[in-house]
Structure 1
């Protein structure tokens, strides 16, 4: 579980998925790029969102799928939580709270 939460992009993806039943990789990539740039998802340039999508596809989604946290259909680009291990939702919430606190302190 901790390895799944180690990468910031993986954490942002998990925060995004926690709020939805399912999503597509393109939507998640735009959301993550916006978080990283501290802007609205509509303001993320297409090339930036595409670079994030590529790392999700090749790095982060395989790791989360390997750890049985996210189910991902490579053909359709759809993803959703699998039944996460016990305590995973609590860890995701804790990471989110910590990161939100760090962002508020830096403002």
Structure 2
């Protein structure tokens, strides 16, 4: 199934950016606050099934700012290797950059969650369903 870009993307500062996807009501949201999710539950689970995409979204939520793709790759690799970002080996960093470019970022962009250009990545829409699932995954990892 081919997805269109979201009709309204909420930036973290609640500005809106227009694109063109109709809202259809879709599946019930996992949001306790009743937020309006642009992704169905199945779409959110599909996106978050990949650990790299979870790490990307988690990191972008925590820094709450645009980041260089190389810095994002370093943090994603460090999390996977369970080491300090400054200790990530060069080969692991190169693999992480390639993974971000070809596998992790395109689906997040296609679903209107991130945008990237000129080596800079920014979280543009914290979808409520995705946020709720990320919070649940983080809680499960801590326990």
TM beyond 0.5: yes
Question: Does 2:48 align with 1:5?
Answer: yes
Secondary structure of the residue that 1:19 maps to in structure 2? helix
Mapped partners of 2:51, 2:128: distance in 1: 21
- RMSD value, Cα: 1.2
Which of structure 1's runs of 4+ aligned residues deviate more than 6 A? none
In the comparison of the two structures, how many residue pairs are matched?
A: 99
Pick aligned residue for 2:132 from 90, 95, 100: 90
Larger Rg: 2
The Cα of 1:69 is off from its aligned counterpart by 0.8
TM-score (norm 1): 0.85
Mapped partners of 1:84, 1:35: distance in 2: 21
> Structure 1: any 5+ residue segments left out of the alignment?
102-107
The Cα of 1:100 is off from its aligned counterpart by 2.8
> Structure 2: any 5+ residue segments left out of the alignment?
1-43
The equivalent residue for 2:68 is: 24
